[in-house]
Amino acid sequence: MRSTDVRRLAALAVLAVLVAAVLPWVTRSAEEKRLYVFTPAGISSISITDQDRHEYIALQDLLPNLGQVGIRRERDVVRLRVGAVEGEFRDGRNRFRIGKMQVESALKVRIDESGRVLVPLDLLPEIIKQYTGAEPELRLASHKLYLRGVAQYVSIELRRTDPSTLVLTFPVAVSPNITNEGGRVRLSFTHEPVLMSADRIDYQDKLIQSIAFSEPNGASEITVQGAAPLLTGFSEGGRVITLSAAPAPPKIAQAPAQPPPSTSPIAAPVTPGRLPATASPGLPETPLPVHGVVPFFVMIDPGHGGDDSGARFSEKFQEKDVTLAIARRLRAELQDRGITAVLLRDSDTTLPLEQRAEGANLRRAGMFISLHAGGPGVGVRVYTALVPPADPKVREQAGPFIPWQSVHAAFLDKSRVLGEQMVSELAGRKVDAQLMPASIAPLSRVASPAVALEVAPPRDNPSLDGLNAPAYQQAVAQAAAAAVVGALAHMLEEHK
């Protein structure tokens, strides 16, 4: 062994000891909640405090990301200026002013002893919009804030060659950490603001099974699951990542060139673009999809989950399990009809209501279907949001802002069309169905046509067994999927 090797080993040992000593402290501080702010200059993170069980941040931490900040404090008023725009905040108020605009808040603004202005996290898009004119993108679930133009949406295309190839196109060059464990490839982006428009896409494909998106600790992670080992290749100067079948080790046979493949029915529109075969063997030269276009997809919200069991039908049988079972059937039924569907939760996890609407709105879902189950009575109740008719007085007070409760108002007519389709498709399958409005969270906050279904047991078996019967759940899922197709056709017809 050479002396440099010994020295390296010793250094490694010292490092290991240091890591072991520091790790508990690091993990503890990592538990402190932080908001990751992605700006053109890079990422910063600011600390989140809990006030009355809601998440707040101090504006003094955030505003320096927007420009030159000026602070003035007079008794109970704090004035924060960014460039030429001044905001005025008072402790304990549900409204504040930025520039000439009054902003309303469901939660109170707080000012602590040191004069820091604490605002609820979900108000940040509005605040930043008033200060800068540009609305950022806030992802509450993962505590990430992207100033406008910073988020980079990946565009995904499955090319159904034999075997298939999955092509990921990014707006700019990326350099993720790649872990490849047989069929599973994980792309981890620690400092790049990468986003995917869906949490998960399942493919009915022999090689590529699924692609999923997650956001652990401020990072972004894309996981591709293949049925066989996958090969990762970069091209277009790091803008395109291709996942294809890894050649079997003994034979170094390359996949034969294929004719231009057909893409999935709802893929984004394509523009001519050339893909130089730099790193991925066997990839045919085909047009690249345009990035930034979000294809139509249905967001399915399986009600409850995790700590929230919903209605408890018996010791072991809870609403949250029924909603997830029907949601998975509905996803499959939609996919069979060529429509992409994404579940807000695909496991028994807790998902707060506010994050359900936000999850759908940020990803620009084309439709939203919330699922619930339980009594009284039989059959399926289909609900549209109860959004009061716009009160001219309230309108006036709100100024140019739409109160957040009425985000959905513009989609109410289309929601009714979807609801009517649901009722007629259910009735066609001999399932009792009725349509009515209900003030059910989170429908009124969803920015797309949306309905909620409450599935009660079937008339011919009004029991828990009846509710849990696969044939019944399947009939409900089929009716709902057919209704989506019907409502889409109706909307396209109106659009003409």
Partner 1 sequence: MISRQLQITIALLLIALLAGGVYMYELRRRDERNLLQSADARPVTAPVAGPKVPVTLVVAFDDDGVLMRRQAEVALPDDPSGRAREVLRALLAEYLQHPAPHKVGEGADVDAVYLVEGGLCVVDMNAKFATGHPSGVLLEQFTVATMIETLAVNIPGVRRVKFLVEGKERETLAGHADLTTMYDVDAVHQIVTGLEKH
- 306 lines the binding site for partner 1 (CB under 8 A): no
Which CB atom, from 226 or from 310, has the smaller least distance to Zn ion? 310
For residues 99 and 142, give the distance between their C-alpha atoms in angstroms, rounded to a whole number: 30
* Among the listed residues 120, 163, 305, 310, the single contact to Zn ion using CB under 5 A: 310
- 397 lines the binding site for partner 1 (CB under 8 A): no
Which CB atom, from 217 or from 439, has the smaller least distance to partner 1? 439
Return the axis-axis angle of helices 470-495 and 412-428, rounded to nearest 10°.
140
Q: What are phi and psi of 24, to 5 degrees?
A: -60, -35
Least CB distance from residue 88 to Zn ion, whole Å?
A: 42
Which CB atom, from 329 or from 372, has the smaller least distance to Zn ion? 372
- 106 lines the binding site for partner 1 (CB under 8 A): yes
Which CB atom, from 109 or from 158, has the smaller least distance to partner 1? 109
How does strand 144-146 pair with strand 34-39?
parallel
* Among the listed residues 118, 207, 298, 452, the single contact to partner 1 using CB under 8 A: 452
- 372 lines the binding site for Zn ion (CB under 5 A): yes
What is the pattern of x (binds partner 1, CB under 8 A) and - over residues 267-296?
A: ------------------------------
H or E segment to which residue 487 belongs: helix 470-495
* Among the listed residues 372, 408, 414, 416, the single contact to partner 1 using CB under 8 A: 372
For residues 488 and 339, give the distance between their C-alpha atoms in angstroms, rounded to a whole number: 11
- 44 lines the binding site for partner 1 (CB under 8 A): no
Residue that is written with structure tokens 């339980």 in the block: 374
Beta-sheet strand order (sheet of 208-214): 177-181, 184-189, 220-226, 208-214, 200-202
Q: Which does 436 bind (CB under 5 to 8 A by kind): Zn ion, partner 1, none?
A: partner 1
Residue count at the site for partner 1 (CB under 8 A)? 31
What is the pattern of x (binds partner 1, CB under 8 A) and - over residues 427-446?
A: ---------xxxxxx--x--
- 121 lines the binding site for partner 1 (CB under 8 A): no
Q: Which of 426, 354, 336 is nearest to 344 (CA)?
A: 354
- 308 lines the binding site for partner 1 (CB under 8 A): yes
Least CB distance from residue 488 to Zn ion, whole Å?
A: 26
* DSSP state at residue 405: G
For residues 184 and 469, give the distance between their C-alpha atoms in angstroms, rounded to a whole number: 34
What is the pattern of x (binds partner 1, CB under 8 A) and - over residues 310-339?
A: xxx------x--------------------
* Among the listed residues 388, 428, 459, 489, the single contact to partner 1 using CB under 8 A: 388
- CA distance readout (Å), 386 to 43, 277, 337, 398, 414: 40, 54, 30, 20, 14
The β-bridge partners of 318 are 312
- 458 lines the binding site for Zn ion (CB under 5 A): no
- 302 lines the binding site for Zn ion (CB under 5 A): no
- 303 lines the binding site for Zn ion (CB under 5 A): yes
Q: Quick one: which segment of 31-39, 183-191, 334-342, 369-377 binds partner 1 (CB under 8 A)? A: 369-377
Which CB atom, from 55 or from 308, has the smaller least distance to partner 1? 308
Helix (H, G, I), strand (E, B) or coil at 26: helix
Which CB atom, from 195 or from 369, has the smaller least distance to partner 1? 369
**Phi-psi label, residue 221: left if phi above 0, alpha if psi -120 to 50, beta otherwise:** beta
The CA-based angle 253-259-260, given to 5 degrees, is 120
- 384 lines the binding site for partner 1 (CB under 8 A): no
Q: Quick one: which segment of 42-50, 223-231, 279-287, 373-381 binds partner 1 (CB under 8 A)? A: 373-381
Q: Which of 382, 409, 411 is nearest to 395 (CA)?
A: 409
For residues 175 and 188, give the distance between their C-alpha atoms in angstroms, rounded to a whole number: 9
H or E segment to which residue 333 belongs: helix 319-336
Q: Which of 300, 349, 312, 318 is nearest to 476 (CA)?
A: 300
Nearest residue relative to Zn ion (C-beta) = 372
What b-and-e string marks burial along 98-109, b requiring 16 or more CB atoms within 10 Å of the CB?
beeeebebebbb
Q: Quick one: which segment of 43-51, 142-150, 293-301, 372-380 binds partner 1 (CB under 8 A)? A: 372-380
Give me the residues that bind partner 1 (CB under 8 A), please. 106, 303-304, 308, 310-312, 319, 353, 372, 374-377, 381, 383, 386-389, 391, 405, 436-441, 444, 452, 454
Give me the residues that bind Zn ion (CB under 5 A), please. 303, 310, 372
